[in-house]
Structure 1
Amino acid sequence: MAWRPRSELETGAQIVSGQLGKTVQRLRKAYNLSLSELAEQSGVAKSIISQIERNETNPTLATIWRLSQALDVSIERVLASAEDEPFVEKLGRAETPMLVSDDGKVRLAIIGWIRTVEWLQWYDLKAEAGGALESDAHQRGSLECLSVLSGEAEVEIAGHVEAARAGETLRYRCDRPHVIRAVGREPLHATMVCIMKAAVME
């Protein structure tokens, strides 16, 4: 439901929120505005804005609407306190997508956030000795980071091979076919982050 501005002649509903002042102050500072500048742009008295930021007054919806217009954000965002609340999302093992190679030697858990998949992907990689993850080229400029947690990995790109042991990280262009192999006797465990649309490396 969209909020509507009310006339100054109407008292409107009083907003009681311990987070409102912090939110207005944070947005004002984000735009690098002084109290006087925000007052001039919003038409709300400087003293009132100061009281709002210190949570010493409960402004009407009309006042909040004027501030939201001056700060170029929705009134819902001004009223929201999500910025000061922790964001926690938990996925169980069964809810984490898992890719398994045809030979069963490589397991790739998709632990990245689906909302970032177009520009950032990250995985938990586990492979038995001798297992290999073959990947096609990603879009031009993409970069991959492989951090080995245990075991030993070998990355091959365009005929070039580089190895990494536990505690080491390989960063490489992945905009060409590449292969990650588990070498040595121990299973490989690593995290893999792919940065899509990265700056083209010349």
Structure 2
Amino acid sequence: MAPRVRAEIENGALIVSGQLGKTIQRLRKAYNLSLSELAEQSGVAKSIISQIERNETNPTLATIWRLSQALDVSIERVLAAGEDAPFIEKLSRADTPALVSEDGKVRLSIIGWIKTVEWLQWYDLTAEPSGALESDAHQRGSIECLSVLSGEAEIEVAGHVERVRAGETLRYRCDRPHVIRNAGPEPLRATMVCIMKAAVMA
């Protein structure tokens, strides 16, 4: 059973009491990783990891997420808050994980809750004019819902193209290759929700 810890938020950082540092260290050693190797794989500075293992710092949720990804475990296993503790999370823009398209013009900020990532994901999408995000097929039956807040998007799924303007929402199967493009002259801003285990549409 994962160790129980208490977590609160202060100025964007997690105040953690319990066994977080020991858990990170135990998992790192179980994978026979040095501090330098874990730092390289996670993108978290070696000095920060060392401080976390000694419980000398309050890491952000984004930092714990990066470490959990590098250690190939769920963040729940690394950080399990008591059920009776209040749940409040606040991330700064800098601490919000993000993905960037190959052309560098589209940014997906991961604003969804890490506990739902296996079945429900949601993102803040921004794209410069002519920017395009090409995605491989997700698991069978997956659905994406794209709500445009400003600008104009063009969605291409299996050769079918649909335009979506500000105030409109497009839902489409994403279990096949698909592309999201900024189809207008202004920056595109949208919210995208991906339901990973939706029922297969007839």
What TM-score do you get using the length of structure 1 for normalisation? 0.57
In the alignment, which residue of structure 1 is the partner of 2:133?
A: 133
Deviation at 1:87, TM superposition (A): 2.7
Divergent runs of 4+, >6 A: none
Contact 2:129/2:185, CA 8 A, preserved across alignment: yes
Deviation at 1:135, TM superposition (A): 0.5
Aligned letter for 1:188?
A: L
Deviation at 1:114, TM superposition (A): 1.2
> 1:81 and 1:129 mapped to 2: Cα distance?
45
After superposition, the CA RMSD in angstroms is 1.5
1:174-193, CA deviations, whole angstroms, 9 ceiling, x for partnerless residues?
A: 00000000011111000100
2:166 is equivalent to residue 162 of structure 1: no
2:163 is equivalent to residue 174 of structure 1: no
Contact 2:103/2:132, CA 8 A, preserved across alignment: no
Compare CA radii of gyration and give the structure with the larger one. Answer: 1
Aligned letter for 1:149?
A: L
2:99 is equivalent to residue 103 of structure 1: no
In the alignment, which residue of structure 1 is the partner of 2:144?
A: 144
In the alignment, which residue of structure 2 is the partner of 1:88?
A: 88
Q: Cα–Cα, structure 1 residues 81 and 96, in superposed 2: closer, same or farther, change >3 Å?
A: closer
Deviation at 1:86, TM superposition (A): 5.2
1:26-65, CA deviations, whole angstroms, 9 ceiling, x for partnerless residues?
A: xxxxxxxxxxxxxxxxxxxxxxxxxxxxxxxxxxxxxxxx
> 1:165 and 1:128 mapped to 2: Cα distance?
15
> 2:186 and 2:124 mapped to 1: Cα distance?
17
In the alignment, which residue of structure 2 is the partner of 1:184?
A: 184
Q: What is the number of equivalent residue pairs in this alignment?
A: 121
Q: Give the alignment of 1:1-202 within 5 angstroms.
A: 82=84, 87-202=87-202
What TM-score do you get using the length of structure 2 for normalisation? 0.57
Deviation at 1:102, TM superposition (A): 2.8
> 1:183 and 1:81 mapped to 2: Cα distance?
46
Structure with higher strand content = 2
Percent of pairs with identical residues: 80
Q: Which runs of 5+ in 2 are unaligned?
A: 1-81
SS of 1:199's equivalent in the other structure is coil
Deviation at 1:81, TM superposition (A): 8.3
